Amino acid sequence: MSASQTSPDGFALKRTNYQWMVIGILTLIVGYLLMSGGAAKDPTAFSKEIFSTRRITIAPVIVLFGYGTIFYAILKR
């Protein structure tokens, strides 16, 4: 990077970029927390809870949105 492309304080990205990145990371955490759980009391018994709409549809979309937000934060000028 040349001196004209870097921030005057020495950081590679601006403050808003880091804010977007934190939002993306928090979104990832929420998505992965929504995906977790569903432990059965009896490990040999089948639990339909692992195939809930929250775990197979909503949580992966939230995780993808989080990665997209981080990607945007890195590429934003």
* Domain chopping of the chain, boundaries: 15-37+47-75
pLDDT at 1: 52
Q: Tell me the C-alpha to C-alpha distance, in Å, between residue 17 and each of 33, 34, 74.
A: 24, 26, 7
Q: What is the pLDDT of residues 7-60, one digit of tens each?
A: 667 888 999 999 999 999 999 999 999 999 877 788 788 878 888 899 999 999
pLDDT at 15: 93
**Whether the predicted model's global pTM rises above the 0.85 cut:** no
Q: How many CB atoms lie within 10 A of CB 21?
A: 18
pLDDT at 2: 56
CB 59, CB 31: distance < 8 Å: yes
CB 58, CB 34: distance < 8 Å: yes
Instruction: Give buried/exposed letters for 53-68 (b at 16+ CB in 10 A, else e).
Output: eebeeebeebbeebee
